[in-house]
Chains A and B, each alone.
Chain A
Amino acid sequence: MNAAFVLARITLKRLVRGRVIWIALAISMLPILYALVMRRHAGSELFGFEIAALGATCPMLVGATLGDEIEDRTLTYLWSRPIKRWAVLVGKLLAIIPLAAAFSITSWLLCSLLVGGMPPLVTILALALCAKTLALLAATISTLAPKHGLAIAISYLLFFDFPLGGMPVSLRIVSITRQVGVASSLWNGMDHALGGFIALVVIATVLWLVALWRLRKLET
């Protein structure tokens, strides 16, 4: 586990010295513009914008740290070290998930204050879990297609996950964005929030297993 913490520290340092983190921060703050314009007229769609922003920032941060590493073959440095391959993934995600979640939650808090008050705690938890699940989705896609990981992840969310979540079909249970909305209690009420959290945990676990399987097979 020590290797994972070393990698998390290095990943964070690399991100802070790069450009992507600032672009991600700017995207995360975009919902604030909407809140500024709409003020008290803003509804639950504001939360949807936060999810959409996370749908862009998580793949960007993962692409800059894991996808590029696979593509540039710098992963060979890590594979040749006496560390487990899962530790590499954990290390990267330990840096990315809190960062993406912090950006999103800060933005959500500011938006909520602008439109009328503090947000419910459950919405903050939902955003944190959303950051985790979307980072895992992006990481899994990066291990499968490192060259186009960012584009595929964003396309997946934009053209599959979002539309699927809005359809009245049972398959929408696998829509991450929908389950985040459900978990937040803003879309389906508090009664369904727990179901949303459970669904997100299950989706994240499946993604984690696929990413690990892929990393074990990956040769650089």
Chain B
Amino acid sequence: MSGVSAPLVAESCSKWYGHVLGLADFTYTLTGGIVGLLGPNGAGKSTLIKLIAGLHAPSRGTLKVFGGDPFRDEEVRRRIGYAPEHEKTWDELTARELVTAMAELAGVPRANAAAAATTALGAMNMLDAADRRVRGFSKGMRQRTKLATAIAHDPQLVLLDEPLTGVDPIARVDIIERIRALASAGKTVIVSSHVLYEIEALTSEILVIHRGQVLAEGNVYEIRRLIDRHPHRIRVECDKPRAIASAIAGADHIARISFEPRAILVETRDPDRCYDEIAAAVLDGGIDVTDLASPDNNLGAVFEYLTGGGR
């Protein structure tokens, strides 16, 4: 196995679960940095990450990590750090015990494992809670602990499956910063999410996966442009919906405005501008907003649109 092999080289890699397709004909070469896997739930992101982590073997094709087979080669897995999507872990242990055990299992000598765990927990801002049992942790703390288990043995490739799920906004910003710091430290990071702005905050290099297939790969801005072409709906629940309507109705990006009891539904072709204009209208008009959401903040709908299903 060469020490300079690319972190990931996949050629026509497919994975089936019985008759269900998990990943289809995936061909890709990853050279470094942070790569975002973007796709709705069930798209195949976790399957791809599990294939890279060595949890699954491809049904067809090849997938090499640092030139080796992660499913069969333990030396390859030693260079990988993996944080799974699910929340469950060994809840009876403290964060320090959990991360230390994972470091030992990843090959860190026992004498060094505790120090490695402390470093990893420190990198995830978890030292204050390191000696508390995982059972009592919030979702954000669990995610940080999972990330610490993934990096404690100083892997070169870090796989993070939905690391921001269920995390509050403040913790989200912090975790994003810490993931970016991993890449700055020279690690290759593959991170999955079904939320575009989470990926955008992490990297500009993305793979868009839908129904087991790579729909698009490359720069996030190109994908963003495609997605923004899709009419985007914004629903504002407030005490003066008509005041918002009159403030934004003349804008060229507004496709349609409709009203609901104590709410306004806006359809726009430029969501960023529209959010700004709604915010300005709310501030200028002293409007009391109780809820602001987008029914389209679900990539499934956008992907249906991009693949023609929504046309």
Contact = CB atoms under 8 A, between A and B. Distances in A.
B93 A79 contact: no
A7 B55 contact: no
Interface in A49-90: 72-74, 76-84
B78 A77 contact: no
Given A13-B97, A73-B88, A81 B56 contact: no
B54 interface: yes
A72 B87 CA distance: 9
A82 B74 contact: yes
B126 interface: no
A84 B78 CA distance: 12
Contact of B75 (A3, A80, A82): A82
Nearest to A3: B105
A17 interface: yes
Interface in B89-131: 89-90, 92-93, 97, 101-102, 104-107, 110
B225 to A, nearest CB: 36
A14 B93 contact: yes
A18 interface: yes
Given A17-B92, A74-B88, A77-B102, A84 B82 contact: no
Contacts, number: 72
A82 B105 CA distance: 7
Interface string A5-25: 011001001100110000000
Interface in A95-113: none
B109 to A, nearest CB: 9
Contact of B55 (A10, A17, A80): A80
B84 A77 contact: yes
A10 B90 contact: yes
A220 interface: yes
A82 B84 contact: no
B74 A76 contact: no
A78 to B, nearest CB: 7
Contacts of A191: none
B90 A79 contact: no
Nearest to A68: B88
B119 to A, nearest CB: 18
A106 B92 CA distance: 27
Contacts of B50: 76, 219-220
A76 B92 contact: no
B55 A82 contact: no
A74 B135 CA distance: 14
Given A2-B104, A6-B101, A82-B77, 20 more contacts: A3-B104, A3-B105, A6-B105, A10-B90, A10-B97, A14-B90, A14-B93, A17-B92, A72-B88, A73-B88, A76-B53, A80-B53, A80-B54, A80-B80, A81-B77, A82-B78, A219-B17, A219-B55, A219-B56, A220-B50
Interface of A: 2-3, 6-7, 10, 13-14, 17-18, 72-74, 76-84, 219-220
The 5 closest A-B pairs by CB, nearest first: A82-B74, A80-B82, A82-B78, A17-B92, A72-B88
